Every structure is written in C-alpha cells, then in structure tokens.
Amino acid sequence: MGHKDDYDSTGKTKGQAEKARWTVLASFFALGLCLGVVVAERVYVQKRALIPKPRQLVSTVSNALHSVGHHAPAAPRNELEAYLMQIAPNKELLLAVANKNTMWDGMLDTFTQGIKRAKVSNHMILALDQQTVDWCKKNGVNAHFMNLTIAATQQGTGDNHAVSAMKFGILKNFVELGWSVLLSDVDIAIFQNPFEHLYRDSDVEGMTDGFDEHTAYGSIEGFDDPSMGWGRYAQYYKHFNMNSGLFYLKANNRTLDLLTRLAYRLSHEKYWDQTAYNEEIFFLSHGSYKSPQVSVRVMEIDKFMNSKRLFKDIRHRPKSQQPPLPVMVHINYHPDKHERMKAVIKWYIGGDEHALDAFPGGSEKGTR
C-alpha cells in the first residue's frame, strides 16, 4: 500500500493524475489543431481564389478582384470586350482575319456561308479595312474593325503573308481579355460547327499539314552513322508542322506567352509565320532558353482536313471507304483556292460526285 504522499486530493495516484492531465491537454491541443486547420483552410481558399492559377490570366484575376462584393459583372474594359460579351458570351470565338482582297472573287462570301451553314453564332471577322466591315454588316456577319499597320519587316512578302504575320498580335487582344479563339483562314470550307468537335484538353489544338497518320501524328524514325560502330544507331521523333491557318488557343498564360513571342518576332524578323509558330511550340527548353511549354493536340486529319489529304487520297477511295462529312476542309496545299473550295462544297453537300474530277492531285496538271 502506497504512502499518503503518493495520492492527490481526488484519491488518484500521482501517476494517474499526471496521465489525466496529459490526456486533457492532448484533447485541447487536438481540438485547437482541428479548428486551426479549418480556419486556415477557409482563409487559404478565399485567398487562393484571387491568386493566379497556372492557366489563369492576370486579367481574369483582375476581374475577380474588381467584382468582389458585387453581383453585377465587371464593365467591359474596351470596345472589343463589349462586343465579345455580346456575340460570344461563353468566351469562345471563331475568328478570321480579312481585308477587302478576300471579297474580290467572293472567297469571303463562300467562307461566311459555311459559318452560317454550320450555325456558328460565336464568330467574328476581324476586318482590316472599312470596306470589309461594311460588307459583313450588309451580309449579316459579325465584324470588328481593327486598324493595323503592316510591320516594316513584312513589307514585300506579299499581302497574304504580311496579313498572316499580324495575326498573332491580333490574337493577343482576345486572349488577354480571357477569350479562347479558334483562328481560321478564309480559304476553308466549313461543314459542321467546329466547337462541337474540339477536345479542349490542350493549350493549342491545331490542324496539321500531315496527310496520313504517320506524317500527322508522328513516328519514330531511325538514324544510322556507321562511323560510330557499336553506337551507330539512334532514333528521333518526326511529324509534319502544324498549320498556322487553323488552330484553337485556350486563354491562359502559356498561350499568352506564345503569342507575345510570335508577335515580337514577326514584327522584327522577315520570317514565315508558320515556321515561327512551329519553332516556338516545339523547340525544346535548353540552357538559358525556356519554351512557352504549351501542351499540343493535333486535330484529327479526317475532321479538320487539309487539301492534300482530300485531293491525293480521300477522293480516290471507294465511297464506302471514305470518312464521314468533315468539319472543315482547308485548301492550304493548292493555289487555286476559291475554285477548289466551291468544288469541295459541291462534292460534300451538293451531291455532285464529279465536282472534284477536274482538279489535279497536286498543283500541276496530270498529277493524281
């Protein structure tokens, strides 16, 4: 039996009392910890909502801050955003850049008829002159005028190339405002609403110049250097370039970085926009150079089809082996663009099985 000094006033041994005190303290500590976590999590979530996420534009955060405590959306920051809110409230837009030259032979009309046929309401013609704006308004086509000057470095490259080189700077205006853009050249026949056929799982989703599975989607190729003896064999990955005339950009900081680089380069270098576009997307980070690190998806070649795929392959197949109606067909491989556009439309939806017969496979007569 213990000594009386071994017991406290409650009759417990000192060891039991000490254990009880630690249990109470531990309980309070655990409770405090839980409360602390809950409070910290609430504070973190509230603050995190205002911190730019990796794919979130600074302008998006600015809007969030501006609208805190207000139920009404933030007022448009400029005339372009006001128009975008009206015609593309879901923040996705089919955009084509055009000037009066595209109206001369009716190509702009053929292109916009495709927009109407596919019921693409969230579209815009970015007009580079007032004549184009007037034509669009007269024909029920969404248009916005932007007065731009061709960079000195692009002078003498030809009107089409010079205008094409400006499109990355134009696209910056839309991405900065938070709009994802499907950019389309006007030498494209539209048959279905393209927004119903996008995956939207990548920063850049674009048409390829590849004309079969290997050239479009890529393949592992071998390299042989006999002088290396035992190490003579190596492998590399190869695919055709992405086409800079048809691609979808998600509005985020990586695509904004990509556009900023391209706009700068093409305002300072006499360079083909498609080459620059592919260099900035695919050149790997190395040393002090860091690429924009955009993720890339290639559009399916029988949905977003280039003209080599159609004229060199698809049209020669038995009808039972031809793929279903494409979404868009880009006449990128051939110079007689408008004539082929009209023929492709007759072939696919006009019921004319011979509409393509007069056209060679390549640009030269007699090619299949």
Q: 110-141, pLDDT tens digit by residue?
A: 999 999 999 999 999 999 999 999 999 999 99
What does the alpha-carbon distance between residue 187 and residue 331 come to, in Å, rounded to a whole number?
6
Q: Cα 120 from chain centroid?
A: 17
SS3 328: strand
- Give residue 51's pLDDT: 34
SS3 265: helix
pLDDT digits (tens, 9 = 90+) for 248-303: 999 999 999 999 999 999 999 999 999 999 999 999 999 999 999 999 999 999 99
Question: Chain-wide mean pLDDT for the chain?
Answer: 86
Every domain of the chain and the residues it spans = 33-75, 79-349
Burial pattern 70-106, b for ≥16 Cβ within 10 A else e, equals: eeeeeeeeeebbeebeeebeeebbbbbbbbbbbbeee
Q: Is the dihedral of CA 51, 56, 58, 64 positive or negative?
A: negative
Query: Nearest-5° angle of CA 73, CA 74, CA 77?
Result: 140
**Other beta carbons less than 10 A from residue 334's beta carbon:** 20
What does the alpha-carbon distance between residue 73 and residue 228 come to, in Å, rounded to a whole number?
65
Give the pTM: 0.79
- Give residue 56's pLDDT: 43
- Spatial contact of 188 and 111, defined as CB atoms under 8 Å apart: yes
Residue 165 has pLDDT above 90, yes or no: no
The arithmetic mean of pLDDT across residues 82-87, rounded, is 98
User: In the 8-state DSSP scheme, what is residue 153?
Assistant: G
Cα distance from N-terminal residue to C-terminal residue, the chain: 110
The arithmetic mean of pLDDT across residues 212-233, rounded, is 97
Please state, in angstroms and as integers, the Cα–Cα distance from residue 341 to each residue in 53, 124, 135, 198, following that order: 42, 20, 20, 23
Residue 59 has pLDDT above 70, yes or no: no
Residue 220 has pLDDT above 80, yes or no: yes
**What phi-psi label fits residue 233: left (phi over 0), alpha (psi between -120 and 50 degrees) or beta?**
beta
Q: Give the CATH class of 79-349.
A: alpha beta
